Amino acid sequence: MSYDLKTLASITIEAAKTASQWLRDIQGNEYFTEFVKWSKEDVTRRFDIESENVILDVFRREHVNALFVSEEFGCKAFSTEPEYIVIIDPLDGSNNYTANIPYATVSIAVAKYSKKATLKDILIGVVSEIFRENIYYAIKGYGALENGKELIKPKNIGPPFIFGYLNYESYDVFKELEKEFGAFKLRSLGSASLDIVYVAKSVAGIFLDLRSKLRNVDVAAALLILNEAGGKAKSYHLNLYDVPITSVEKIYSIATFSKEWGLKYENIIDNIVNSAFRVRKH
């Protein structure tokens, strides 16, 4: 069944809200925190899989004919000719959620189906905070919203935060950043989608992740919110918006810049990353 964008956005918001409410309801239940799958870079707990199922149920109930792409089950379609692609991160910030640290989200993005669809084709992005019931969303060409209104951009917070995630290979980047900016406010809060939303809100000026761990499902929804708020994003390994969305794909590195604070720092960050970090092109 085909939908206009606003109706499809409403369904996506409902799916994110329903999953967030379910996660609030079972938070602290040890049964759902059990590990069910391990990999070299990540683990899957029972609540990850169940949250995915909650999201799928909403889309299937509304007869959305889609290819579903998720970090847990990979790709799943319920017809041979899907109309849409739904990209799901059922819980971004699993460790925070398990530890009752209130910084975690459900993230869902939607695009029209094409075998060659990429991140630039995302039409709807929804990021739902689990602990605080805030909903951030964007429809391509219509701006970014927070709980149905324009993004709330705080005043008088002083210099913006930099959200940064690093490993031993990228440590020199942050040493060079300190030389350039002085003692800046570095935060690593554990939810990439929410970090990017806060860049869109200009709470943070920059989000920088050089660990080679992030995937398209982690950021697809938040990137549209950022773009619609006037921000910018890039990868230092590949052309970010050419990354396919018909399967789970690595993006290796990402930098996002807010409209108000970060854009003027883009060239500085680029020079530091390219000189201090051995970027491997993919």
Predicted confidence (pLDDT) per residue in 5-29, tens digit: 999 999 999 999 999 999 999 999 9
What's residue 256's pLDDT?
97
Percent of the chain whose pLDDT exceeds 70: 96
What's residue 247's pLDDT?
97
Give the mean pLDDT of 164-181. Answer: 81
Q: Name which of 78, 84, 148, 89 is nearest 122 in CA terms.
A: 84
- pTM of structure: 0.94
What's residue 281's pLDDT?
54
Residue 278 scores a pLDDT above 80: no
Q: What's the rounded Cα separation, in Å, for the pair 65 and 151?
A: 31
Q: What is the pLDDT of residues 233-275, one digit of tens each?
A: 999 999 999 999 999 999 999 999 998 877 778 988 898 888 8
Asked if residue 210 lies in contact with residue 169, where contact means CB atoms within 8 angstroms, the answer is yes
How remote is the C-alpha of 58 from its chain's centroid? Answer: 20
Q: What's the rounded Cα separation, in Å, for the pair 87 and 102?
A: 23
Q: What's the rounded Cα separation, in Å, for the pair 92 and 85?
A: 19
- Confidence band of 279 (pLDDT split at 50, 70, 90): low
Question: Where do the structural domains in the chain lie, given as residue ranges?
Answer: 5-150, 161-276
Give the mean pLDDT of 184-197. Answer: 92
Asked if residue 260 lies in contact with residue 202, where contact means CB atoms within 8 angstroms, the answer is yes
How many Å from the N-terminal Cα to the C-terminal Cα in the chain? Answer: 37
What's residue 27's pLDDT?
93
Whether domain 161-276 has CATH 3.40.50.300: no
Average pLDDT, whole number, for the chain?
91
Please give the structure tokens belonging to residue 282: 């993919």
Report the topology of domain 5-150: Fructose-1,6-Bisphosphatase; Chain A, domain 1 (3.30.540)
The 3-class secondary structure across 78-146, one letter per residue, is: CCCCCCEEEEEEEEECHHHHHCCCCCCEEEEEEEECCCCCEHHHEEEEEEEECCCCCEEEEECCCCEEE
Q: What is the pLDDT of residues 89-144, one digit of tens each?
A: 999 999 999 999 999 999 999 999 999 999 999 999 999 999 999 999 999 999 99
- Confidence band of 40 (pLDDT split at 50, 70, 90): low
Residue 175 scores a pLDDT above 70: yes
Give the mean pLDDT of 38-62. Answer: 88
